[in-house]
Copies of this chain bind each other. A is one copy, B any other.
Amino acid sequence: MYDVSVPVFSERLRALTIVLTKAEANAAERKIDPNVFLTARLAPDMLNLTKQVQIATDHAKGAPSRLAGRAVPRYEDNEASFAELQARVAKTRDYLATFKPEEFEGSDERTVTLKIGGNDVELKGLKYLLDVAMPNFYFHVTTAYGILRHNGVPLGKGNFLGRD
Protein backbone atom coordinates (compact mmCIF):
# COMPACT_ATOMS: atom_id res chain seq x y z
CA MET A 1 0.00 0.00 0.00
CA TYR A 2 2.94 2.33 0.72
CA ASP A 3 4.58 1.48 -2.61
CA VAL A 4 1.47 2.25 -4.63
CA SER A 5 0.67 5.51 -2.84
CA VAL A 6 3.44 7.61 -1.24
CA PRO A 7 6.13 7.36 -3.97
CA VAL A 8 3.49 7.79 -6.69
CA PHE A 9 2.15 11.01 -5.20
CA SER A 10 5.65 12.30 -4.56
CA GLU A 11 6.95 11.53 -8.03
CA ARG A 12 3.90 13.04 -9.78
CA LEU A 13 4.21 16.17 -7.65
CA ARG A 14 7.88 16.41 -8.59
CA ALA A 15 6.75 16.40 -12.22
CA LEU A 16 4.12 19.05 -11.44
CA THR A 17 6.93 21.24 -10.08
CA ILE A 18 8.67 21.04 -13.45
CA VAL A 19 5.45 21.93 -15.27
CA LEU A 20 4.80 24.92 -13.00
CA THR A 21 8.38 26.15 -13.29
CA LYS A 22 8.13 26.11 -17.08
CA ALA A 23 4.77 27.85 -16.96
CA GLU A 24 6.06 30.68 -14.81
CA ALA A 25 9.12 31.13 -17.03
CA ASN A 26 6.92 31.16 -20.12
CA ALA A 27 4.65 33.83 -18.64
CA ALA A 28 7.70 36.02 -17.98
CA GLU A 29 9.07 35.42 -21.46
CA ARG A 30 5.76 36.27 -23.15
CA LYS A 31 5.17 39.18 -20.72
CA ILE A 32 1.93 37.61 -19.57
CA ASP A 33 0.72 38.39 -16.06
CA PRO A 34 1.20 35.10 -14.14
CA ASN A 35 -2.34 35.52 -12.84
CA VAL A 36 -3.61 34.87 -16.35
CA PHE A 37 -2.26 31.33 -16.09
CA LEU A 38 -3.14 30.91 -12.40
CA THR A 39 -6.78 31.75 -13.08
CA ALA A 40 -7.08 29.98 -16.44
CA ARG A 41 -9.52 27.11 -16.89
CA LEU A 42 -10.55 24.73 -19.67
CA ALA A 43 -14.26 25.51 -19.36
CA PRO A 44 -16.15 28.25 -17.52
CA ASP A 45 -17.47 25.72 -15.01
CA MET A 46 -14.17 23.98 -14.39
CA LEU A 47 -11.69 24.96 -11.70
CA ASN A 48 -8.73 27.19 -12.47
CA LEU A 49 -5.06 26.26 -12.37
CA THR A 50 -4.56 27.33 -8.76
CA LYS A 51 -7.43 25.13 -7.58
CA GLN A 52 -6.22 22.18 -9.68
CA VAL A 53 -2.86 22.33 -7.91
CA GLN A 54 -4.47 22.81 -4.51
CA ILE A 55 -6.77 19.82 -4.91
CA ALA A 56 -4.01 17.61 -6.33
CA THR A 57 -1.96 18.28 -3.21
CA ASP A 58 -5.05 17.73 -1.03
CA HIS A 59 -5.30 14.17 -2.34
CA ALA A 60 -1.55 13.65 -2.03
CA LYS A 61 -1.54 14.61 1.65
CA GLY A 62 -4.99 13.20 2.42
CA ALA A 63 -4.78 9.69 1.04
CA PRO A 64 -1.59 8.54 2.78
CA SER A 65 -2.74 10.21 6.01
CA ARG A 66 -6.08 8.40 5.98
CA LEU A 67 -4.49 5.07 5.06
CA ALA A 68 -1.88 5.40 7.79
CA GLY A 69 -4.41 6.55 10.38
CA ARG A 70 -2.91 10.01 10.76
CA ALA A 71 -4.86 13.29 10.90
CA VAL A 72 -4.85 15.05 7.53
CA PRO A 73 -2.76 18.27 7.68
CA ARG A 74 -4.81 21.38 7.01
CA TYR A 75 -3.65 23.94 4.45
CA GLU A 76 -5.08 27.43 4.19
CA ASP A 77 -5.73 27.36 0.43
CA ASN A 78 -4.54 30.94 0.02
CA GLU A 79 -1.85 30.51 -2.64
CA ALA A 80 -1.79 33.50 -4.99
CA SER A 81 1.39 33.07 -7.02
CA PHE A 82 3.48 30.41 -8.72
CA ALA A 83 5.97 30.66 -5.84
CA GLU A 84 3.24 29.94 -3.31
CA LEU A 85 1.89 27.01 -5.33
CA GLN A 86 5.40 25.62 -5.61
CA ALA A 87 5.80 25.99 -1.84
CA ARG A 88 2.57 24.06 -1.34
CA VAL A 89 3.77 21.26 -3.60
CA ALA A 90 7.16 21.18 -1.85
CA LYS A 91 5.52 21.13 1.58
CA THR A 92 3.37 18.21 0.47
CA ARG A 93 6.39 16.29 -0.80
CA ASP A 94 8.19 16.97 2.50
CA TYR A 95 5.17 15.61 4.33
CA LEU A 96 5.06 12.51 2.12
CA ALA A 97 8.70 11.88 3.00
CA THR A 98 7.72 11.44 6.67
CA PHE A 99 5.70 8.26 5.98
CA LYS A 100 7.17 4.86 6.74
CA PRO A 101 6.04 1.71 4.90
CA GLU A 102 5.14 0.06 8.26
CA GLU A 103 2.37 2.61 8.79
CA PHE A 104 0.52 1.13 5.81
CA GLU A 105 0.44 -2.48 6.98
CA GLY A 106 -3.13 -3.72 6.72
CA SER A 107 -4.32 -0.40 5.30
CA ASP A 108 -5.81 -2.11 2.23
CA GLU A 109 -8.48 -3.56 4.52
CA ARG A 110 -8.69 -0.61 6.94
CA THR A 111 -11.96 1.33 6.76
CA VAL A 112 -11.63 4.93 5.62
CA THR A 113 -14.52 7.34 6.22
CA LEU A 114 -14.97 10.15 3.73
CA LYS A 115 -17.41 13.02 3.38
CA ILE A 116 -18.86 12.72 -0.13
CA GLY A 117 -21.65 15.15 -0.95
CA GLY A 118 -22.24 15.81 2.77
CA ASN A 119 -22.64 12.11 3.61
CA ASP A 120 -20.23 9.83 5.42
CA VAL A 121 -19.07 7.10 3.06
CA GLU A 122 -17.04 4.15 4.31
CA LEU A 123 -14.59 2.45 2.00
CA LYS A 124 -11.86 -0.12 2.43
CA GLY A 125 -8.41 1.45 2.12
CA LEU A 126 -7.52 -0.22 -1.16
CA LYS A 127 -10.76 0.83 -2.81
CA TYR A 128 -10.42 4.36 -1.46
CA LEU A 129 -6.90 4.66 -2.82
CA LEU A 130 -7.59 3.19 -6.27
CA ASP A 131 -11.15 4.37 -6.95
CA VAL A 132 -11.18 7.77 -5.23
CA ALA A 133 -7.79 9.23 -4.33
CA MET A 134 -5.72 8.22 -7.37
CA PRO A 135 -8.26 9.07 -10.10
CA ASN A 136 -8.93 12.43 -8.45
CA PHE A 137 -5.24 13.15 -7.98
CA TYR A 138 -4.41 12.27 -11.58
CA PHE A 139 -7.41 14.24 -12.79
CA HIS A 140 -6.11 17.42 -11.20
CA VAL A 141 -2.43 17.11 -12.16
CA THR A 142 -3.41 16.30 -15.74
CA THR A 143 -5.93 19.15 -15.92
CA ALA A 144 -3.30 21.56 -14.59
CA TYR A 145 -1.04 20.46 -17.45
CA GLY A 146 -3.92 20.72 -19.95
CA ILE A 147 -4.75 24.28 -18.88
CA LEU A 148 -1.15 25.34 -19.46
CA ARG A 149 -0.85 23.55 -22.81
CA HIS A 150 -4.10 25.16 -23.91
CA ASN A 151 -2.56 28.52 -23.04
CA GLY A 152 0.45 27.89 -25.22
CA VAL A 153 3.02 26.95 -22.61
CA PRO A 154 5.65 24.82 -24.38
CA LEU A 155 5.36 21.56 -22.48
CA GLY A 156 5.49 17.95 -23.57
CA LYS A 157 4.30 14.70 -22.10
CA GLY A 158 7.86 14.08 -20.96
CA ASN A 159 7.48 17.01 -18.59
CA PHE A 160 4.20 15.62 -17.31
CA LEU A 161 6.01 12.35 -16.69
CA GLY A 162 8.80 14.10 -14.79
CA ARG A 163 11.52 14.89 -17.29
CA ASP A 164 12.99 18.40 -17.22
Using a CB–CB cutoff of 8 Å, the interface residues on chain A facing chain B are: 3-4, 7-8, 11-12, 15, 42-43, 46, 126, 130-132, 134-136, 138-139, 142-143, 145-146, 149-150, 152, 157, 160-162
Contacts and interface: CB of A to CB of B under 8 A. Distances in A.
Residue picked from A46, A135, A138, A139, most chain B C-beta under 10 Å: A135
A136 to B, nearest CB: 7
Contacts of A42: 42, 146, 149-150
Nearest to A161: B135
Task: Please state the number of chain copies in the assembly.
Answer: 2
Nearest to A157: B139
B12 A135 contact: yes
A43 B155 CA distance: 11
